[in-house]
Structure 1
Amino acid sequence: MCTQIFKEERGIILGTAFCFVHLSIQEFIAALYAHLFLDICKKSVFNQHESTEQENKNETMIDLLKTAVDKALESETGHLDLFLRFLLGLSLQTNRPLLRGLLTQQDNNDENYKEIVQYIKEKLEDKKMSPERSINLFYCLNELNDQTLVKEIQTQLREGSLSSADLSPAQWSAVAFVLLTSEEEMEEFDLQKFKKSDECLFRLMEVVKISKRALLNDCNLTDESCSNLAKALGSDNNLIEVNMSNNNLQDSGVKQLCIGLENITCKLETLELSNCDLTEESCSALASFLSSDSSSLRYLDLSNNDLKDSGIKLLSDGLKENCKLKKLRK
């Protein structure tokens, strides 16, 4: 078994060293340690350095699980996501017998299960939670064998009724989870099939990132969506075509969008911004992006905007330097 878990590395200075073949093993052992620490010390691994006043307080399994959920949500890097999934999985009654011989006490309290499931669902209703963190919470519910939200959304997806549905943040996150875990490859994401709003796009941004084409036109979007899309373009994504025409993006939105476009991870080739209430200010931001080495854009549509001659001149100056653009509509 050890030959499958560890790999041997040799170095001149350190000599022979061993490391995990896959980090998931490390996360599993960390989760197992957290269970053992609670069992032996009656304390959470997150509270090892408590004050003297709190030392005599025995912590329970539900205390550990809730703290782990909170800590994972606080992390911007997601470094506790996999650990949390393993921790929750090991807490299930069906899995506790596997730890017999390691744990001195077997916790068979069904109320713990119900309480942590409800706790996670309450967290999912937080409108400020990032799409990445909410998706991980659905993986956590999956570990706990709770499929209630997912099954509800799967029914609505089959019926095609989501474009007029007024869903909660948790339900929109469930839509994203279902689409992300689908076996079908996402070639195209069309926001009009869901709900035409900034909030809906934000909740489904992880789905947008794995798609090649994002059809976001005529969807009542504002500069808020540009800011969120810029973050998506600046992270790992598959997008090569984005249509945001006929939205009230304004110059502030395009300036935000350019931040994401300038990121080295952005491979966008087509961008449509027709009729988006843009002026020459947008031309200045776009000209700067088009002249940069990071630009991969081949087609840009700026038609039906109030760019004026001064804006066109700014664009022309940007096109003269290091521009890969093949077609421009203005």
Structure 2
Amino acid sequence: MSHIKTARSLRIMCNIPIFCWISATVLQQILTQSDTEIPKTLTEMYCHFLITQTSIKNEKYGESYDRDPEKLLESNRTVLLKLAKLAFKQLMMWNVMFYEEDLRESGIDLTEASVYSGICTEIFREECVLYQRKVYSFVHLSFQEFLAALYVFHCYLIKNNKALEVFNPWFIRWTENVPLDKLLCVAVDKVLKSQNGHLDLFFRFLLGISLESGQKILQGLLIHTESSSESINRTVQHIKESMENEYLPNDRSVNLSLCLTEVKDQHLPRKIQEFLKS
């Protein structure tokens, strides 16, 4: 509890029961490990939750158990990236529930979906009085948003620009080497234009995964890591400029401030302190 209270981005999320469960699941594991840094941001918490659930899955089904997170993620990379692809594709269509054919389109075998029950839970919904169809969803929308952000960063690393073109405002094909800050900046603009803020949390996760600290946790799942500090700095500057727009709705401004918190920028806390002192 004392750790949660010191991390603003985590404390804000504690009004969501599922987040409390995720936090408890992660901290129960990490607090017994002297060599693992305790998560301080939302992205770090969800990264460790993914590792924890993958470890539980390996133990449950008698697969090779490895305490090394990098090797654990590497051995499960194929299926996890398929789930991430499903999460991204369905999020872009505003879908939180999907069917067997949606899983197959992302290359997911139905057996794989049931095995990863901690991540992708099978639920049933009666659609008419004559029959039932199997309906699938992730444990929570926030985790779908996390996996969707993971897929986008993965596509950036492997230069899969076709998947990234959804963020291109002019739908012009990008060159092969798209700078990370260009991707993140156009993502900011798309998030600001999204209805009902349905991409807010997705973008926070994308920023968090892009950080070198986020990439480090996900080693084994990502094909490689790269230096991103300059790109993050340019993106942060773009976010601050967007926040200065006097016509920006309050909820959009709040989300952008939380994005700054996710990349451990102290702009907002400093502004608050300056205001209080004045």
Q: TM (normalized to structure 1)?
A: 0.44
Give the aligned partner of residue 15 of structure 1: 133
| Higher share of residues assigned strand | 1
CA offsets, 1:166-223, max 9 Å, x none? Answer: xxxxxxxxxxxxxxxxxxxxxxxxxxxxxxxxxxxxxxxxxxxxxxxxxxxxxxxxxx
Residue 111 of structure 1 and its aligned partner are, at CA, apart by: 0.9
Match of 2:157 among 39, 48, 54: 39
Cα distance in 2 between the residues matched to 1:52 and 1:5: 33
Q: Is the 8 A contact 2:260 2:267 kept in 1?
A: no
Q: Is the 8 A contact 1:96 1:106 kept in 2?
A: yes
Residue 77 of structure 1 and its aligned partner are, at CA, apart by: 1.3
Give the aligned partner of residue 62 of structure 1: 181
Residue 238 of structure 2 is aligned to residue 119 of structure 1 = yes
Amino acid at match of 2:119: I
Is the alpha carbon distance of 1:45 and 1:135 closer, same or farther for their aligned partners in structure 2, counting shifts above 3 Å? Answer: farther
- Name the larger-Rg structure: 1
CA offsets, 1:115-169, max 9 Å, x none? Answer: 1111111111111111111110001001010012322313432x3x3xxxxxxxx
Structure 1, unaligned stretches of length 5 or more? 162-330
Residue 248 of structure 2 is aligned to residue 129 of structure 1 = yes
Give the aligned partner of residue 30 of structure 2: none
Cα distance in 1 between the residues matched to 2:167 and 2:188: 19
Structure 2, unaligned stretches of length 5 or more? 1-52, 54-115
Give the aligned partner of residue 100 of structure 1: 219
Cα distance in 1 between the residues matched to 2:171 and 2:248: 34
CA offsets, 1:14-45, max 9 Å, x none? Answer: 43333122100100010001011111135274
Moved more, 45-54 or 101-110: 45-54
Q: What secondary structure is seen at the aligned counterpart in 2 of 1:7?
A: strand
Q: Is the 8 A contact 2:123 2:134 kept in 1?
A: yes
Residue 194 of structure 2 is aligned to residue 75 of structure 1 = yes
Q: Is the 8 A contact 2:149 2:203 kept in 1?
A: yes
Is the alpha carbon distance of 1:105 and 1:3 closer, same or farther for their aligned partners in structure 2, counting shifts above 3 Å? Answer: closer
Cα distance in 1 between the residues matched to 2:183 and 2:256: 16
Q: What secondary structure is seen at the aligned counterpart in 2 of 1:28?
A: helix
Q: What secondary structure is seen at the aligned counterpart in 2 of 1:102?
A: coil
CA RMSD of aligned residues (A): 2.6
Q: Is the 8 A contact 1:44 1:59 kept in 2?
A: no
Percent identity of equivalent pairs = 39
Cα distance in 1 between the residues matched to 2:198 and 2:216: 28
CA offsets, 1:229-260, max 9 Å, x none? Answer: xxxxxxxxxxxxxxxxxxxxxxxxxxxxxxxx
Q: Is the 8 A contact 2:149 2:202 kept in 1?
A: yes
Residue 75 of structure 1 and its aligned partner are, at CA, apart by: 1.4
Residue 144 of structure 2 is aligned to residue 26 of structure 1 = yes
Q: What secondary structure is seen at the aligned counterpart in 2 of 1:16?
A: strand
Cα distance in 1 between the residues matched to 2:259 and 2:272: 17
Question: With CA pairs under 8 Å and 6+ residues apart, which has the higher RCO, 1 or 2?
Answer: 2
Q: What secondary structure is seen at the aligned counterpart in 1 of 2:273?
A: helix
Amino acid at match of 2:156: L
